[in-house]
Amino acid sequence: MPAPRTLYLNTTDNINLRCLVWDHVEPRAVIAIVHGIGEHCGRYNHVAEYFNQQGYAVMAYDHRGHGESGGPRGHAPNLESLLDDLALFLRAKWRKNTGSKTHYFVRTGWSVMVQLCAPKNKHFVA
């Protein structure tokens, strides 16, 4: 299995967010992995590889202050910055499969974050 592409998104407050992308030529859908607090997206390589082998494109990112993303470790200035980061990740221009339905694999309290983000970004809802 090929390694995922590693990309970085730059936030409005100049934090680099590390993103991993497992492309698929003809994806059934896209799965967006959103890790939990104190984790990093690399913990879900096995999950991403499994779904990729099943025909899905998969993408994941490290929250600010987590994994290989920038920012003070384990810190975000406010809730709005986390929601903005999530929105930036989900609408990133590098997504090759923008017409595909997106499913979410979300850990811990981040399911609430996705729900908070969705009303402002209607295209997020699969």
Mean pLDDT, each 10-residue run in order, the chain (126 residues): 88 96 88 86 92 92 94 90 88 61 66 65 54
Say what the pLDDT of residue 117 is.
Answer: 67
Q: Buried (b) or exposed (e) across 21-41, using 16+ Cβ within 10 A?
A: bbbbeebebbbbbbbeeebbb
Say what the pLDDT of residue 20 is.
Answer: 95
Backbone torsions φ then ψ of 74, nearest 5 degrees? 70, 20
Say what the pLDDT of residue 101 is.
Answer: 72
> Please, what is the Cα angle at 64 between 24 and 61, to 5 degrees?
10
Say what the pLDDT of residue 126 is.
Answer: 43
pTM greater than 0.85: no
Rg (CA), the chain: 13
CATH code reported for the domain at 5-124: 3.40.50.1820
Q: What are the residue boundaries of the structural domains of the chain, listed by start?
A: 5-124
Say what the pLDDT of residue 53 is.
Answer: 95
Say what the pLDDT of residue 87 is.
Answer: 86
Query: In a 3-state reduction of DSSP, which class is residue 6?
Result: strand
Copy the structure tokens of residue 77.
Answer: 């200035």
